[in-house]
Amino acid sequence: MFSPHSIPDETSFFRDPELFESLKNYVLPQLLRRRRQNKKLTIWCAACSNGQEAYSLAMLLQDHFPSLTSGWQLDFLATDISSTAIARARSGEYSDAEIQRRLPIHLRSRYFVRHGSGWKIVPELRLLVEFNELDLRRSWSNLPLSIDLILMRNVLIYYDLVTRELILDRILDVLKPDGYLFLGATETAFNLDGTFQAIRLGQAVGYQARSPY
Ligand SMILES: C[S@@+](CC[C@H](N)C(=O)[O-])C[C@H]1O[C@@H](n2cnc3c(N)ncnc32)[C@H](O)[C@@H]1O
């Protein structure tokens, strides 16, 4: 029988670099422009595995949008169904092999310190992200209601069409009309049911809720 525990927790820092380039060059500059009045940004990294995806984005924010992490209200939530993955993400501890996979050396020097035989993320970055358990198929009542940016990558691919559509429908309830959803690189061909429109942003494709008009 299919079980979420059979879903691999395969991940890495800066997996699909073109996504992070797109976030840096298109998505975040646009969102920051649009939210400059109330200075509030909400990010949700769903199915975050051991935390590398969320910390990659946190490094990008800190490096390229430093005002966000000081003068703004940044709500950055990262969730996963696996309590083990969330515990690891919260610990911020990674092996040499995990760190060597795609994490540029200058970012390792800036954001990690030696910890035993591996590495540990610095508190400055650790504190930017709140990690919680959440099964995407169950209640989302603990999520913020107006999210600007959702990364839900490499998880829907493991579920059947009905489950995917159910989850994508619920995204419409929490994603702001001009907010962006990003799926995994191989998930872009999903039938998004006419409710989302695909928008090319550099080398990556993001989704926005399709306007009813
Ligand atoms: C292949 S990893 C993807 C990790 C990361 N998003 C990335 O792209 O590198 C899939 C993750 O989805 C999580 N997952 C599976 N089913 C889930 C569900 N129903 N709700 C939340 N997370 C789930 C797994 O625990 C695993 O950490």
Task: State whether the beta carbon of 124 lies less than 6 angstroms from ligand 1.
Answer: no
Q: Domain span at residue 33?
A: 18-84+122-209
Query: Sorting pLDDT into bands at 50, 70 and 90, what band is 1?
Result: very low
d(CA 67, CA 116): 33
- Is residue 76 one of the residues assigned to a domain? yes
Task: State whether the beta carbon of 68 lies less than 6 angstroms from ligand 1.
Answer: no
Task: Tell me which of 57, 81, 135 to substitute to probe ligand 1's pocket, judged by most ligand atoms within 8 Å of the beta carbon.
Answer: 81
pTM for the model stands at 0.96
Residue nearest to atom 9 of ligand 1 (CA): 11
- Is residue 107 one of the residues assigned to a domain? no
Task: State whether the beta carbon of 45 lies less than 6 angstroms from ligand 1.
Answer: no
- pLDDT at position 3: 65
- Is residue 117 one of the residues assigned to a domain? no
Count of C-beta atoms within a 10 Å radius of residue 208: 16
- Is residue 162 one of the residues assigned to a domain? yes
Instruction: Report the CATH number that the domain containing residue 42 is assigned in CATH.
Output: 3.40.50.150
Which residues fall within 8 angstroms of residue 42, CB to CB, at 6 or more apart? 75, 76, 77, 144, 146, 147, 148, 149
Both tokens assigned to 164: 């995917």
Nearest ligand 1 atom to the CA of 15 is 9
Percent share of the chain, pLDDT over 90: 83
- Is residue 189 one of the residues assigned to a domain? yes
Residue nearest to atom 5 of ligand 1 (CA): 48
Task: State whether the beta carbon of 187 lies less than 6 angstroms from ligand 1.
Answer: no
Residue nearest to atom 2 of ligand 1 (CA): 9
Distance 130 CA to ligand 1 centre (A): 16
- Is residue 111 one of the residues assigned to a domain? no
Give the tens place of pLDDT for each residue, 40-95: 999 999 999 999 999 999 999 999 999 998 889 999 999 999 999 999 999 999 99
Find how far residue 155's CA is from the centre of its chain. 12
- Is residue 147 one of the residues assigned to a domain? yes
- Is residue 7 one of the residues assigned to a domain? no
Number of domains in the chain: 1
